[in-house]
Structure 1
Amino acid sequence: MNTRSVASQGRGQAERAANSKAMEVGARAGFAARGLIYVLVGALALQIAFSGGGGKQADRGGAIAEIAEKPFGVVVLWLLGIALIGMALWRLSEALFGQAGPDGDKPAKRAMAAGRFVFYGFVAYSVLSFAAGDSGSGGGSSDQQSQDVTAKALGWPGGQWIVGIGGVAIACAGIWIAVRAIMRKYHKHLKMSEMSQKVRRAVDFTGVFGGASRGAVFATAGGFAIAAAVKHNPDQSKGMDDTLRSFTQTPVGPWLLVVIALGLVAFGVFSWFNARYRKV
């Protein structure tokens, strides 16, 4: 058997693995895990809104710490981390072989899938590290991490430009997420024909409200990164927790944070709908 034949056979086996039932289960478990994290972050943000700015940190680290405090919390964290590995592997398969749908083989979509593979791989690692006893991993403050990364980047040659461009990219990503949610672009990724009218309404409510709220958080965080670049001050950069707290400093007080927090809960529920109806 020549080298080309072996390579072709290997690729065929990889494609079959990517389209296997196990990969589908992993992807759906990953959506369920993502949903749980967003529901908890939204709930923590609500606590901040109603406690006058106190409460626990409303980010992934806060959500992980909240789970760990519950009975059998460590077991749940292990399951959560394994589910996120499933999500990461599914995204990797999309990067290698394309997504489901007629336009899923486009290079841009593959590149986005590769980025999501890296992101979910990191999240899975942080969750599993926390479950294994490294409380400084998954439970770290997103605000401190953001400031540390920004400070390091600002020290590089052209650091202000790097941080500024990164901030613009994050802000644009947030706007893109919100616009796509409002336009209901997620329909093409879901098995809409399998839903009842009641379920469709729930999917659209959580998808639009949740996606727009999530996009608003990203866009605001990007704005803070731009401010950090302009002022050459890493303290201006904010993680998810401080970004959410910033919504309480608007003229409407904590009520904007209440809306955004409920939107993050909605996005978590939307993720659970994805776990059931996503085309994988």
Structure 2
Amino acid sequence: MSTGESSSASYDNPASVAGRVAQNSGFERAARAGLVMSGIVHLIIGYIAIRIALGGTTDTADQSGAMTELAAKPGGVVALWGCIVAFLLMALWRLVEAALGSPSRPDADSKKSEAINRIKAAGLAVVYFAFALTAFEFARGRGKSSSGESTGITARMMHTTPGTIALTAGGLIIMGIGGYHVYKGVSQNFLDDLEGPTSDLVRRLGTVGYIAKGLAIAAVGLLVILAVSRSEPDKAAGLDGAFKTVGAQPYGAALLIASGLGIITYGLYSFVMARYTKM
């Protein structure tokens, strides 16, 4: 095969094409919009949690509640379609990163760290695809409560031993993810994900935001495990259930307000990531 043919084959293979797409500045800017939309969703979730604490609403404090709130606003359906596009682009970006590695981290410390980064990218791709699907359902007027769906799925899985084992393992994994977020906030190693110098404000937003989100995620995992151990599927009500469980504790209103403010802080930090995160 000639040199020209070899170059053409290399140029046209899927990995090469995907790599060029990932490095396209227009695609990168569009993908970053996914972080902006994620920030908006977190702001709304935090706002709903605070309203619940103050007795001002019975809405669900999770992504479905945020989509419901957004859809009810003037131009909300248009905004939801914007969310769909932004989330899909970010999901595709993360898929490319999972498959090819991150172009912003070509000098990974080891094969192990590169593998971990790719796994995290794949996980984020799933999260953004889920966000896009939720937004799509609400844009079509067919959105459902995430907490209700979680309870239904948990109830069906509890009827079998493999399902019970899977739920317990899933709860432990969710708690682990929450713990990782808390660690990332306390250690401030989230700063490694950003380009350029960072201000004290950015460090504070990231620290508080990651810890708050980590605690919320860990609470979701704990509720799943408690639901399985007590055969009470209604306790596995996702993020909304976690917030309302916090609100039911002594000084619950104050704790729920603090939790809502923490999620809002993570939402604000998402805007920082949209501008400065390495991609």
> Is this contact kept in 1: 2:235–2:241, CA < 8 A?
no
> Is this contact kept in 2: 1:160–1:230, CA < 8 A?
no
Deviation at 1:81, TM superposition (A): 1.3
| Partner of residue 96, structure 1 | 99
| Partner of residue 138, structure 2 | 130
Distance in 2 between residues matched to 1:170 and 1:111, nearest whole Å: 15
Distance in 1 between residues matched to 2:229 and 2:73, nearest whole Å: 43
Candidates 13, 38, 42, aligned match of 1:38: 42
For these two proteins, the number of residue pairs brought into alignment is 270
Deviation at 1:239, TM superposition (A): 1.2
Candidates 70, 74, 98, aligned match of 2:73: 70
Structure 1 stretches lacking a partner, 5+ long? none
| Partner of residue 171, structure 1 | 175
Distance in 1 between residues matched to 2:84 and 2:163, nearest whole Å: 34
| Partner of residue 276, structure 1 | 275
Distance in 2 between residues matched to 1:144 and 1:223, nearest whole Å: 17
Candidates 98, 114, 118, aligned match of 2:126: 118
Q: Pick closer, same or farther for the CA change 1:236–1:3 going to 2, 3 Å.
A: farther
Distance in 2 between residues matched to 1:30 and 1:239, nearest whole Å: 22
Output the TM-score relative to the length of structure 2: 0.90
Deviation sequence 1:89-145 (CA, Å, 0-9, x none): 1111110111222328711221221122122112112212321x2323xxx212111
Deviation sequence 1:123-168 (CA, Å, 0-9, x none): 112212321x2323xxx21211111121222223332221111111
Structure 2 stretches lacking a partner, 5+ long? none
> Is this contact kept in 2: 1:161–1:229, CA < 8 A?
no
Amino acid of the residue matched to residue 274 of structure 1?
A: M
| Partner of residue 206, structure 1 | 205
Distance in 2 between residues matched to 1:255 and 1:88, nearest whole Å: 36
Candidates 176, 188, 192, aligned match of 1:188: 192
Residues 21-30 or 82-91, more deviating? 21-30
Amino acid of the residue matched to residue 9 of structure 1?
A: D
Q: Pick closer, same or farther for the CA change 1:225–1:4 going to 2, 3 Å.
A: farther
Distance in 1 between residues matched to 2:23 and 2:234, nearest whole Å: 45
| Partner of residue 165, structure 2 | 161
Deviation at 1:203, TM superposition (A): 1.1
Deviation at 1:55, TM superposition (A): 3.0
Deviation sequence 1:8-42 (CA, Å, 0-9, x none): 63222221111111231122101101000000000
C-alpha RMSD of matched pairs (Å): 2.0
Deviation sequence 1:149-201 (CA, Å, 0-9, x none): 212222233322211111111111111111111111111110232x4xxxx12
Distance in 1 between residues matched to 2:183 and 2:236, nearest whole Å: 24
Deviation at 1:63, TM superposition (A): 0.8
| Partner of residue 146, structure 1 | 150
| Partner of residue 9, structure 1 | 12
> Is this contact kept in 2: 1:225–1:237, CA < 8 A?
yes
| Partner of residue 262, structure 1 | 261
- 3-state SS in 1 of match to 2:161: coil
Deviation at 1:275, TM superposition (A): 0.7
> Is this contact kept in 1: 2:220–2:239, CA < 8 A?
yes
Deviation sequence 1:195-231 (CA, Å, 0-9, x none): 4xxxx12211111111111111111111111112212
Distance in 2 between residues matched to 1:176 and 1:14, nearest whole Å: 30
Amino acid of the residue matched to residue 213 of structure 1?
A: A
Residues 213-222 or 91-100, more deviating? 91-100
